Amino acid sequence: MTAYLILAAPVVLLIAVAAAPFVMEALRKPMGPDARGRAQGEIAHLDSGETHYRWHGPRSDRVIVLVPGLTSPSWIFDALIGELLRLDYRVLSYDLYGRGLSDRVAGAQTLDFHARQLGELLQVLGEKGPVTLLGYSMGGAIATRFAAAESDIVDRLVLVAPAGMGYRPAALLTRAARAGIAGSWLWGLLGPAALRRAAAADAKKPGGISDVKARIETELGRRGYLAAVLSSERNALKESVASDHHEIAAMYIPTLAIWGEADDTIPISGVGQLASWNRQAHQEVIAGADHALIVTEADQVAETLRVFLHDVPA
């Protein structure tokens, strides 16, 4: 009997490890009214799913729409929103599908998938434009795709550390994205720890979000979050936005790109790439800033935006 148990133990352990990501996902809280509780903001009932959004500031004809990135919901803009309100803009923030308090929607998370959510949200809210779009990281690629397709309602495009012109994902995410079903298993098993480490590093940065570890932990406790991140990595972040930027240049949509000099995720080489696609684009580099500049350098981002809005007519 003892020999049998010794022989069976490795098999049991292997089965437990293989099943772990699926068991952990099943134990996570599904998105719905209970998960949303009394959170600030509203829920828009879109054709593609329910979307959590929030208006900031009094009614105004001057509207900025904030488009978040791969792993963080709309709270990534908290520091920037206060700065934008001082520019007398009304600000709209929202959560991408699979993040924050928005639905976990089936389907490959391509740029068109994300742009469709944005378009449906603006339509339901009765926002016919013009609006200024500000996209951060992957949100920059989403905003670019939307602006190219819906140029009649976008008066300016602002890109902060935008994806689509060079991207260096973490090693684990790269392997998971390439490995099909095995990659999904790997991300489900090791992704939470990787995201916790990244959040812990961000929490130590001057000007960073002090409780970002708790915020990411909340995301990790919700069903569908990890799958959404991996789907966007496999789809949206692999797409080219060259034709979109050519279209934006042809439509003369004023464009500002803000880069972090020390960004290891979105390399500074993107400056040259964007210039080759849209020579009219205004570009600024914030010295010493890394990929967290939307938080740590929110005042400089806002000041760069203020000058752009003042000097460049829509």
Instruction: Answer for the pair 157, 254: CB distance below 8 angstroms, yes or no.
Output: yes
- CA distance linking residue 130 with residue 303, whole number of Å: 22
* Residue at 25 is within a domain: no
From first to last of the 314 residues of the chain, give the pLDDT tens digit: 565 556 555 655 456 556 677 667 777 788 888 888 878 899 999 999 999 999 999 998 899 999 999 999 999 999 999 999 999 899 999 999 999 999 999 999 999 999 999 999 999 999 998 999 999 999 999 999 999 999 999 999 999 999 999 999 999 999 999 999 999 999 999 999 999 999 999 999 988 898 999 999 999 999 999 999 999 999 999 999 999 999 999 999 999 999 999 999 999 999 999 999 999 999 999 999 999 999 999 999 999 999 999 888 87
* Residue at 19 is within a domain: no
* Residue at 8 is within a domain: no
Instruction: Name the domain count of the chain.
Output: 1
Exposed / middle / buried, residue 303 (Cβ in 10 Å: 0-12, 13-18, 19+): middle
* Residue at 170 is within a domain: yes
* Residue at 4 is within a domain: no
* Residue at 10 is within a domain: no
- CA distance linking residue 292 with residue 34, whole number of Å: 31
* Residue at 24 is within a domain: no
For the stretch 52-82, what's the b/e string if a residue is b when 16 or more beta carbons lie within 10 angstroms of its beta carbon? bbbebbeeeebbbbbbbbbbbbbbbbebbbe
Look up the CATH number of the domain holding residue 109. 3.40.50.1820
* Residue at 269 is within a domain: yes
Confidence (pTM): 0.93
Strands 50-56 vs 42-45: parallel, antiparallel or unpaired:
antiparallel
Residue 274 lies in domain: 33-311
User: In residues, how long is the chain?
Assistant: 314
